Amino acid sequence: MIERLKDPAARARIRKDMQAHSTDWDNEWEEVPGPQSILVSVVSDPKLLPLQGKTIDQIANQWGKDPIDTICDLLIQDRGYTYVAVFGMDERDVALALEQPWVSICNDSQGTAPDGRLGKEHPHPRAYGTFPRILRKYVREEKKLTLEEAIRKFAALPAQKMRLGDRGVLKVGMWADVVVFDPTTIADRATFEDPNQLSLGMQYVLVNGVPVIDAGKMTKALPGEVLRGPGYHH
Average pLDDT, the chain: 94
Per-residue CA distances from 86 to 41, 49, 70, 188, 203 (Å): 10, 19, 16, 20, 32
> Could you tell me the pLDDT band of residue 210, with boundaries at 50, 70 and 90?
very high
Which one, of 104, 147, 149, 133, lies nearest residue 197 by Cα?
Answer: 133
Contacts 24+ apart (CB under 8 A), 42-50: 42/82, 42/83, 42/121, 42/122, 42/123, 43/78, 43/81, 43/82, 43/83, 44/78, 44/79, 44/81, 44/82, 45/77, 45/78, 45/79, 45/81, 47/77, 48/74, 48/77, 48/78, 48/82, 49/120
- Quote the pLDDT of residue 22: 86
Query: Each residue of 170-179: pLDDT tens digit?
Result: 999 999 999 9
Query: Each residue of 85-127: pLDDT tens digit?
Result: 999 899 999 999 999 999 999 998 888 899 998 888 889 999 9
Residue 76 phi/psi, 5-degree rounding, is -65, -50
